[in-house]
Structure 1
């Protein structure tokens, strides 16, 4: 009996860890989602009997979100923002650390020691704040619930997504104010102030407009939610354009400016301010973008960081998003714009293909995949360079975390592309994700099941 009790405890722990790992695998990237792309996927690749790993992950995440009764809200924070209003979003700068050398009798480093940068070294205590976590999880759940509703038509999932949007953006008792004045604040002696880097925290909000367009067809949608969301996005757009932090973010020479433009252009387009969105992208292409890519394809403002491969892929994430959005609104063709060194986005993608990701961590070269797909889609692939690289990188992923494969706007329409050797790769067949991986969505649950079997074996053994 004692052995059975011990085994039960071990099994429950393993099962909980497996479920946690499934969700932890999901790291949303900024990508351009369209209802048309989702409908294409539904008509050409949708299989209820054998869904691909990414769709399994979306379905699983949506199902868990449906049953989650713990609301995401800025009011959950245990750290009150400096102005005393919990509706203000607050986060700490992740790469700033207290420097207490030479300071005597330190009892509270947060207020006594100056904070200094250690680029690439993540300060773990930033996770003590709930706003960044709740914000990311809210978007993840809204997106998965909306996609599930679009593909399956289950009104329960739409209703849950609408509830999440109401809590975060509309309800005056729980919603976030449409500004980020305390984003990535610098702690230390004196007044804690937000920085323009904090605008990066809301980059995933680019998924909210497409979620709205999906959910407004549901029975759960109503005039109050519609007006509240649209007012929030409009107000946030105005804050991004007119605040000092927003203006500083646009003037940055790296990914902070790129993601700022990606966000603001999205919100402006959603609000019907198409000319303003076009002008923003045009101005970006004529200014900041001009210094972003060298003739070789290297992105100097990202490659000088301590994680050069990661940050160059990260900036491409936003650049390719802007290029796709600009195509939709008949704006500047960012795919064809050349920097002052004569380089395009294609050069930046090509530069990274032969490189090894030497950054610390477990990302690998597969983080380049979304940009590879988009470069192939726009520039073509007569030599098979992208096909070869995509095939190689796909084998290193578990598939479950690659949500973007579900709604990549063009990749899903060009399933079969031949490489230089004449071999055909079908990118619509995402079973290839699981060729070398036992972790395609429920791989970790398989681990729990194996633990169960081993537990039973040892129970009977003893």
Structure 2
């Protein structure tokens, strides 16, 4: 249920995390090395193996974007490394707060969607408001953000908080081994996705609604990128037994149904062809959701289309994220767009496809990483419009690039703690 007060949400890009390298050097895991390791089941280097993810290397924990080697190293240093110990204490504090929140559900929002079912997700376009001259008429465009957007009139605040809490609680369970955190995470997931009375129907038909004008827009699909956090969190609590095999099958079915909606609905297909960050996050979502739902055919189809649909359009020959470069917050959106591409490349590696080093017409993820890396620690020199040049989220990209390509990319030593302890 909900707190009726307005909730503030973190930026939607939080899934990719604020990563960072700890004091120890990271060994780059190239796609070629991953394929070699895949052939040796007992290899010490964790390898994402198809629909099972990292389960074979991680005690049955079926994760895809969270790396077992990092998590195990951080857990080993929990009590001995002062920086890890402090980060762990902060995570437990957040988890204890999450334990005290009521369960989230789409079914108790105050506004009924156009379908008549509260089980359908509902959100509004941020910059539309009721028309003072026509209280019952169509909403009109205005300045700023409608404050009702993040209240219990709609679902986005609960979607954001639900996803964040599941992630925090799963990490707290892993690092502490306290079963109460896994129990609560499992309850939150069952309430949001599985219980017939409280579950969200697997569609975004009414995301980015403009009352009186539009019953949803393709842009609204972006909002479910938050849910990517749930997938690896569920994998992390899997061995606890509190999220049962039947729960897992039910959740796989939910995501499979949502994948079908993304592929076949008007809004889903619309999101896939947008010429902006939304299309990149569409790929990030559908590949992650489909792999969790054991639909490798969908993953491979989207990944194989990446070179034709994304590289020529979203990536500039100069290495810039071409479609984001003209925006007033071009650095912010370039980082977020490339972060989505990193997610797709990680999922692609799970099915033996190398997107990290793929180039088409001089465009590619590596080249765009090199372009942004030039401004790491020097964002003031960013050559495109940017209203906030004091950005630190570039650190996450450098952390992830370091894992793939090695020391050519220098990450901030604190980013890893921020990523895995939700600092």
Band of TM-score, shorter chain:
0.7 to 0.9
Work out the CA distance in 1 between the residues paired with 2:293 and 2:77.
32
- Which residue pairs with 2:263 in the alignment? 241
Q: Residue 253 and residue 159 in structure 1: after superposition, are their counterparts in 2 closer, same or farther (change >3 A)?
A: same
Q: Is the contact made by 1:269 and 1:277 (CA closer than 8 Å) also made in structure 2?
A: yes
- Which residue pairs with 1:65 in the alignment? 98
Moved more, 235-244 or 24-33: 24-33
- Which residue pairs with 1:135 in the alignment? 159
Q: Is the contact made by 2:128 and 2:139 (CA closer than 8 Å) also made in structure 1?
A: no
Q: Is the contact made by 2:169 and 2:182 (CA closer than 8 Å) also made in structure 1?
A: yes
Work out the CA distance in 1 between the residues paired with 2:235 and 2:292.
10
Q: Residue 259 and residue 54 in structure 1: after superposition, are their counterparts in 2 closer, same or farther (change >3 A)?
A: farther
SS at match of 1:184: strand
Q: Is the contact made by 1:196 and 1:246 (CA closer than 8 Å) also made in structure 2?
A: yes
* Structure whose CA Rg is larger: 1
Task: Tell me the CA shift for residue 223 of structure 1.
Answer: 4.1
Q: Is the contact made by 1:169 and 1:232 (CA closer than 8 Å) also made in structure 2?
A: yes
Are 1:292 and 2:292 matched, yes or no?
A: no
TM-score computed with the length of structure 2 as normaliser:
0.77
Work out the CA distance in 1 between the residues paired with 2:209 and 2:286.
21
Work out the CA distance in 2 between the residues paired with 1:72 and 1:148.
19
- Which residue pairs with 1:367 in the alignment? 393
From 216, 236, 244, the equivalent of 1:222 is: 244
Task: Tell me the CA shift for residue 226 of structure 1.
Answer: 2.3
- Which residue pairs with 1:90 in the alignment? 122
Q: Residue 199 and residue 367 in structure 1: after superposition, are their counterparts in 2 closer, same or farther (change >3 A)?
A: same
Task: Tell me the CA shift for residue 359 of structure 1.
Answer: 4.1
From 212, 220, 223, the equivalent of 2:234 is: 212
SS at match of 2:323: helix
Task: Tell me the CA shift for residue 348 of structure 1.
Answer: 4.1
Work out the CA distance in 2 between the residues paired with 1:203 and 1:150.
23
Work out the CA distance in 2 between the residues paired with 1:50 and 1:374.
20
Structure 1: 5+ residue stretches without partners: 1-19, 408-440, 442-462
Q: Is the contact made by 2:167 and 2:229 (CA closer than 8 Å) also made in structure 1?
A: yes
Q: Residue 220 and residue 390 in structure 1: after superposition, are their counterparts in 2 closer, same or farther (change >3 A)?
A: closer
Task: Tell me the CA shift for residue 253 of structure 1.
Answer: 2.2
- Which residue pairs with 2:172 in the alignment? 148
- Which residue pairs with 1:185 in the alignment? 209
Work out the CA distance in 2 between the residues paired with 1:404 and 1:298.
25
Q: Residue 126 and residue 317 in structure 1: after superposition, are their counterparts in 2 closer, same or farther (change >3 A)?
A: same
Q: Residue 327 and residue 26 in structure 1: after superposition, are their counterparts in 2 closer, same or farther (change >3 A)?
A: closer
CA shift digits 1:202-249 (9 cap, x unpaired)? 102112222222222113223442232121111111111111211111
Q: Residue 72 and residue 319 in structure 1: after superposition, are their counterparts in 2 closer, same or farther (change >3 A)?
A: same
Work out the CA distance in 2 between the residues paired with 1:406 and 1:200.
25
From 20, 32, 43, the equivalent of 2:76 is: 43
Are 1:336 and 2:352 matched, yes or no?
A: no
Work out the CA distance in 2 between the residues paired with 1:35 and 1:312.
28
Q: Is the contact made by 1:184 and 1:194 (CA closer than 8 Å) also made in structure 2?
A: yes
- Which residue pairs with 2:62 in the alignment? none
Work out the CA distance in 2 between the residues paired with 1:289 and 1:197.
21
Q: Higher helix fraction: Structure 1 or Structure 2?
A: 1
- Which residue pairs with 2:31 in the alignment? none
Work out the CA distance in 1 between the residues paired with 2:308 and 2:351.
18
TM-score computed with the length of structure 1 as normaliser:
0.71
CA shift digits 1:391-416 (9 cap, x unpaired)? 6xx6xxxx79x642559xxxxxxxxx
Q: Is the contact made by 2:139 and 2:210 (CA closer than 8 Å) also made in structure 1?
A: no
Question: How large is the RMSD of aligned CA atoms in angstroms?
Answer: 3.0
Structure 2: 5+ residue stretches without partners: 1-6, 18-64
- Please give the residue correspondences for 1:330-409 in structure 2 after superposition, counting only pairs within 5 Å: 330-331=352-353, 333-343=354-364, 344-350=367-373, 352-353=375-376, 354-356=378-380, 359-360=386-387, 364-382=390-408, 386-387=409-410, 390=412, 403-405=418-420
Work out the CA distance in 2 between the residues paired with 1:219 and 1:225.
10
Q: Is the contact made by 1:41 and 1:406 (CA closer than 8 Å) also made in structure 2?
A: no
Work out the CA distance in 2 between the residues paired with 1:364 and 1:123.
26
Work out the CA distance in 2 between the residues paired with 1:61 and 1:48.
20
Moved more, 163-172 or 238-247: 238-247
- Please give the residue correspondences for 1:239-278 in structure 2 after superposition, counting only pairs within 5 Å: 239-278=261-300
- Which residue pairs with 1:415 in the alignment? none
CA shift digits 1:50-108 (9 cap, x unpaired)? 6355433322211111222x2211122111111111111111112x33596xxxx8042
Report 1 or 2 for greater relative contact order, CA contacts < 8 Å, sequence distance ≥ 6: 2
- Which residue pairs with 1:174 in the alignment? 198
